[in-house]
Amino acid sequence: MPAGSEPAPPTLPRTWRPLGTTIAGVVASVTVLGAMVAAWLLLDAEIRAGFGFFQRITMVAMLAGAGAVLWGILRCRITASVEGVVVVNGYRTYSYEWAQVVAIRMPNGAPWATLDLSDGTARPVMGVQASDGSRAFRAVREVRALIDRDA
């Protein structure tokens, strides 16, 4: 890359989230909730009255299960601070000091970015998804600038 093509490190703290996944998660949440409510309201009162306790619990559990999956998807992010990086993938959170982070990369065809760590392992970063296109590659460049700053 030509000199000066890398961005300056962003102001900290900074959080990156996947835009496409967030939009899809919100739309899916509203759709599932709307469909469940509409299905309930469209049933005749006689049929609704026939629903027993366990059937109602099953409907609520299905809605809660769908909500839990969608909430896990919506939580994905990467946050950089002065102390280090926090990666949230679904319901798992990983914290790393800057000294532990060697590189971030997103090879062609990869669904999301990957952090390379000093112990030789790699951690997927679902908060930066290739489906976001140039926005994802800009996020990778910004995180890379932060890693290079501390190297």
Domain chopping of the chain, boundaries: 13-151
Q: What are the pLDDT digits (tens) for 20-66?
A: 999 998 998 899 889 988 988 999 999 989 999 999 999 889 889 98
Residue 112 in tokens: 């999301």
* CA separation for the pair 118, 124 (Å, rounded): 15
**Long-range Cβ pairs for the range 100-107 (8 Å, 24+):** 101/147, 102/147, 103/144, 103/147, 104/128, 104/140, 104/143, 104/144, 104/147, 105/140, 106/130, 106/136, 106/137, 106/140
The residue that leads in pLDDT, 6 or 103, is: 103
pLDDT digits (tens, 9 = 90+) for 68-120: 998 999 999 999 999 999 999 999 999 999 999 999 999 999 999 999 999 99
Q: Would you state the pLDDT for residue 151? A: 63
